[in-house]
Amino acid sequence: MILKQYDFLVIRRARLLPVKTPAKLLPAMEVPKHVVASILISALVWWVLRSAAAAAACFLVGVLIDLDHLFDHLYHHRGRLNLRRFFRAFRIEIMENIFVFLHSWEFVILWLALLLTVPEARQPVALGLFIGFASHLLLDNLFNRHSRWAYFLLFRLRHGFAGKYYYGAREYRSRIKHVRRLTRQS
């Protein structure tokens, strides 16, 4: 495991160790929870709009928005994809940089402005996409323990996409403690 010491502890290229992850480090919104939430929200979209295409679009974007985490994973692991590591990485690693470009309230604001100002944009599929996107961000913002500003692209850009600003202070401290425990055990 390669560690870098600045004013904070960073895992740059992490090697996962076979230890059980403490429950307090588990983020509330993971893929299975996004799938369930997207099913429920898509059902509501279908019930209101009576459009299977809108419901499908809502479901797909509500789950697939998390593909932007793949870019971060590949960036931090030198282009190597290991699915088991990918799904564990966002629970226990401290990443030096976090980009997650699709997780951005600015996109929701722009999309909402488009829907409100351009009547042709108010198609059922576009509404389904918007609802899926916005609900995904809302659930992440409410239940993940990141900084309250973590889902603003301008905030991340202002801080150079530094991971220490993405994590909330409490989450950051608990991840550092966990990493230190892992390094003592190895």
Tokens representing residue 2 in the block = 């390669």
Average pLDDT of the chain to the nearest whole number: 83
User: Where does the pLDDT of residue 3 fall: very low under 50, low under 70, confident under 90, or very high at 90 and above?
Assistant: very low
Specify the residue for token string 């010491």: 5
Q: For the segment 19-31, what is each residue's pLDDT rounded down to a tens digit?
A: 344 445 445 688 8
Sorted by where each begins, the domain ranges of the chain are 3-185
Distance CA 112, CA 81 (A): 35
Alpha-carbon dihedral sign for residues 84, 86, 89, 91: negative
Tell me if residue 118 falls in helix, strand or coil: coil
**What is the structure's pLDDT at 186?**
67
Q: Residues 6 or more apart from 49 whose CB is under 8 A from it?
A: 55, 124, 127, 128
Integer distance in angstroms from the first to the last C-alpha of the chain?
9
User: Where does the pLDDT of residue 17 fall: very low under 50, low under 70, confident under 90, or very high at 90 and above?
Assistant: very low
Distance CA 165, CA 172 (A): 9
**What is the structure's pLDDT at 103?**
96
More confident residue, 25 or 145: 145
Tokens representing residue 107 in the block = 């996109």
Determine the length of the chain. Answer: 186
Q: For the segment 52-84, what is each residue's pLDDT rounded down to a tens digit?
A: 999 999 999 999 999 999 998 899 888 888 888
Are 21 and 90 within 8 A, CB to CB? no
Distance CA 42, CA 173 (A): 36
* 4-38 residues labelled b (16+ CB within 10 A) or e (exposed): eeeeebbbeebebeeeeeeeeeeeebeeeebeebb
